[in-house]
Chains A and B, each alone.
Chain A
Amino acid sequence: MKGFEPKIIGFLCNWCSYEGADAAGRARKAYPANLRVLRVMCSGRVDPQFILEAFKEGADGVMILGCHPGDCHYKEGNLQTLKRYYVLKRVLSTLGIEEDRLRLDWISAGEGDKFVQVVSEMTERMRQLGPLPR
């Protein structure tokens, strides 16, 4: 598996997590180039279909990043995401996709450092898991 570089799709909510990612950028914090970001207004917009599609289209890992519980710009969109996340994990495992290939986390607008850490961890984990067999 040496030299394998995973492709990771990240769904980031506009208000907190996308801001957090921008904050990491403004602070010039380097993180693995493997992440490809897709901005949604709220993590609640992330249709499970999108995640399956990302895996189908070649992603080795998918991240959903939203506001911390209680901080969602739309009150409770992220709680919906959380519920779906548990269901999705089970669906993925029946499809033979390792659970770790999907990660949900909360990143606030000020948490540039946490964003870098989460992306780095995810990339490292995907490197360990290797390419998603298709």
Chain B
Amino acid sequence: MAERIGVYVCECGPNIKDAMDLDEVVTFVQGLENVVLTKAFGLLCAQEGQELIGKDIKEHDLTRVVIAACSPKEHEKTFRQCLEKAGLNPFLLQIANIREQCAWVVKDKSLATDKAKAIIHAAVRRVAYHEPLEVKEIACQPHALVVGAGMAGISAALTLAQKNRKVYLVEKLPCIGGKVACYEDVFPSLECASCILDPILDEVLHNEHIEILTLTEVQEVLGFYGNFLVKVTKKARFVDTETCIGCGACLETCPVTVKNEYNEGLDERKAIYIPYAGALPNVAAIDKKHCLRWQGEACSACREACPFGSITYEDTDQVRQLRVGAIVLATGFDLFDPARAPQYGYGKVEDVYTSLEFERLVNSTGPTQGKIVLRNGQVPEKIALVHCVGSRSGKFHEYCSTVCCMYLLKFAHQVTRQLSGVSILGFYSDLCLPGKEAQGFFNKISQEGNIQWLHMKEPDSIEITQADGKTLIRFTDVHGSPREVTSDMVVLAPAMEGARDAGAMAQIFDISQGAGEGFFAEENSQIAPVSTAIEGIFIAGCAQGPKDIQSSVAQGQAAAGRILSRLVPGEKLALEPVTAEVDEDLCCGCKLCVGLCSYKAITCDNLKNNVAINKVLCRGCGTCAAACPSGAIKAHHFTDTEVSEEIRGLLRQG
């Protein structure tokens, strides 16, 4: 191999020059194979240094360049550009790090000289085998994926939706709006929830840049920032969304009745259903698990009843591949299951409810049309509101769920508004009322109705049981005295946790979660609260941690802003040139490498019985090449030959 290698030794002012015998180094290098030119220079990274290299490349027909200087982390890019300007492929360069890893750490001049010689020798031997590599560019995907259509996801989607950019809004339920769509009123304004939400939902539903995918879940994510490939499955709805107007004719004839999970199981729905009155999009859906047709019966009651011919039993689940540049995860929260803490009597004592159940109870589209009644239909005279269920205790969650004090106050207001003369018992150990509105809200609501505050010693110094048809509440008060009261209804404020399937999502998107609580981990809780460790994947809303609507919206918009600032339509994305490649003839199809690839870049062609590496997905770690038993995988820029030559160069000095 007759390469023409130019070697440049940087003096780096006194940094390298004084640490070793540069004359000896230069003399040594001049004697190496393929080296046609060796120069020591004051400061190579300076303009004059770069110009010198460029000039030499042309004048001396150099085919390879070695720069013995500082770490490649400092100036590899600089010198690659220098080669490129002179018409040489930038990868025909090797940096010999004789500053950080030699001059600065070896105090003995003669040892430093020897070590520098070895490092340069290795670079010279290696560079002779370098191959030109090409940096390919692909168009950056300006589109975005938002997972979860609650307040946070919707805010992100609306901020992102612009000309030349499409937003896929993926929601696993048949309707959008998240938890807030199930509320009657919202704190602190006490405005009606649908008054705030409906115009926003309408905007999302009619925004031409947003494609809403309901009943849809993410299966797999490949790729990286600017170029994600996301596989989603859209479950069959069996109702045509274009023609169904949500008239509900089908619901009446359906013979199957099941518990309605959209009303927290407090009433029943049919196998064809609309989650709750006012759910958007206002389109029915068939629940395949309960519909008789999928139990082998020939029922077609809904199809017969539908005046618009919208029932489509032949629907199938659709798998779609979405290409997006960035992703916002806004999968929200679920509540801690209070049955895990038997002391609260949930599931055993009849009139103990969770806060989300109470939201439905008090909601005009809910199971009782908004009437606050006990399970036996009677109106309660006493209602207990229990704070911090599963929050702020060593047993379950140490953190405060942030919004419970506020929504329990909202409940107190709703109860007082509806039931005059009702007495409210507030069981708390501390109140959390930060910010500019909460304390005022507390003051206002406290004066409004008949609320008796019962101060407990610890957040969980309470036990709720059923005795003689009454709900008995025993607790330890703040002075340590045991006390006892009865109540007709109890509403618990269970801790907020990350969404039930957040763990599965974290795996799919390769991001981390906090231990035990299921919230996604942010890149930095202070200065990067909506980004994750994976570039291009953002988190927003209660998926990141407990918070109210205001903060959820702020995070959704923040995540969108982060994306907008970088993911500009028309932008190009440079692909990693240092990738691995398979020699089809050598590959024996053992597939050992397939499972090793963290990026799922390796696929197997079973017909040809060999594997191939996707150049766009490969990041160039080289793990597959190291594992290939037949040596069929070439790790570009770190080929077996290049590494072997480097080993020899480092060891066979002079």
Whether B112 contacts A53 by the Cβ 8 Å rule is no
Whether B622 contacts A22 by the Cβ 8 Å rule is no
Complex: A42 Cα to B623 Cα, angstroms: 7
Complex: A54 Cα to B73 Cα, angstroms: 25
Whether A22 contacts B650 by the Cβ 8 Å rule is no
Partner-contacting stretch, out of B51-59, B314-322, B639-647:
B639-647
Partner-contacting stretch, out of A33-41, A96-104, A122-130:
A33-41
**A64 to B: closest C-beta gap in Å:** 11
**A111 to B: closest C-beta gap in Å:** 15
Interface of chain B residues 245 through 292 with chain A (CB within 8 A): none
Whether B644 contacts A74 by the Cβ 8 Å rule is no
Q: Mark A51-84, 1 if CB is under 8 A from B, else 0.
A: 0011001110000000000000111110010001
Q: Which of A26, A30, A50, A54 contacts B651 (CB 8 A)?
A: A54
**A102 to B: closest C-beta gap in Å:** 14
Complex: A98 Cα to B568 Cα, angstroms: 56
Q: Which of B115, B622, B640 contacts A44 (CB 8 A)?
A: B622
Complex: A61 Cα to B335 Cα, angstroms: 56
Complex: A50 Cα to B115 Cα, angstroms: 21
Question: Inside 8 A of A46's CB, which chain B residues have their CB?
Answer: 626
Number of A-B contacts (CB under 8 A): 117
Give the interface of B toward A (CB within 8 A).
Answer: 71-73, 97, 99-101, 104-108, 111-112, 114-115, 118-119, 122, 510, 578, 596, 598-599, 619-623, 625-627, 635, 638, 640, 643-644, 646-648, 650-652
Identify the closest chain B residue to A23 (Cβ).
B100
Question: Inside 8 A of B104's CB, which chain A residues have their CB?
Answer: 25-26, 28
Q: Which of A25, A38, A40, A74 contacts B650 (CB 8 A)?
A: A38
Interface SS of B by simple majority: helix
Question: Inside 8 A of B97's CB, which chain A residues have their CB?
Answer: 22, 37
Question: Inside 8 A of A42's CB, which chain B residues have their CB?
Answer: 621-623
Q: List 16 A-B contacts (CB under 8 A).
A: A9-B651, A18-B71, A25-B99, A25-B100, A28-B105, A29-B105, A33-B106, A41-B635, A42-B621, A42-B622, A42-B623, A45-B623, A50-B644, A57-B647, A73-B621, A75-B510
Question: Inside 8 A of A18's CB, which chain B residues have their CB?
Answer: 71, 73
Identify the closest chain B residue to A37 (Cβ).
B101
Query: Quick one: which of B107, B119, B625, B646 has the most chain A CB within 10 A?
Result: B646
**B629 to A: closest C-beta gap in Å:** 11
Whether A36 contacts B626 by the Cβ 8 Å rule is no
A113 touches B (CB below 8 Å): no
Complex: A28 Cα to B102 Cα, angstroms: 10
Whether B651 contacts A44 by the Cβ 8 Å rule is no
Question: Inside 8 A of B596's CB, which chain A residues have their CB?
Answer: 44, 80
Whether A33 contacts B622 by the Cβ 8 Å rule is no
Whether A58 contacts B651 by the Cβ 8 Å rule is yes
Complex: A11 Cα to B599 Cα, angstroms: 23
A118 touches B (CB below 8 Å): no
Identify the closest chain A residue to B118 (Cβ).
A36
Question: Inside 8 A of B623's CB, which chain A residues have their CB?
Answer: 42, 44-45, 74, 76-77, 80
Complex: A57 Cα to B425 Cα, angstroms: 81
Question: Inside 8 A of B101's CB, which chain A residues have their CB?
Answer: 21-22, 25, 37
**B387 to A: closest C-beta gap in Å:** 37
4 nearest A-B residue pairs (beta carbon)? A25-B100, A45-B622, A44-B623, A74-B621
Question: Inside 8 A of B114's CB, which chain A residues have their CB?
Answer: 33
**B294 to A: closest C-beta gap in Å:** 40
Given known A44-B622, A73-B621, A75-B598, contact A49–B640 (CB-CB < 8 A): yes
Whether A19 contacts B73 by the Cβ 8 Å rule is yes
Question: Inside 8 A of A22's CB, which chain B residues have their CB?
Answer: 71, 73, 97, 100-101
Query: Quick one: which of B596, B598, B621, B646 has the most chain A CB within 10 A?
Result: B621
Complex: A29 Cα to B101 Cα, angstroms: 10
Complex: A57 Cα to B155 Cα, angstroms: 62
Whether B510 contacts A38 by the Cβ 8 Å rule is no
Given known A58-B652, A75-B510, A80-B596, contact A41–B620 (CB-CB < 8 A): yes
Whether B115 contacts A25 by the Cβ 8 Å rule is no
Complex: A45 Cα to B650 Cα, angstroms: 18
Question: Inside 8 A of B646's CB, which chain A residues have their CB?
Answer: 38
Q: Which of A26, A57, A80 contacts B627 (CB 8 A)?
A: A80
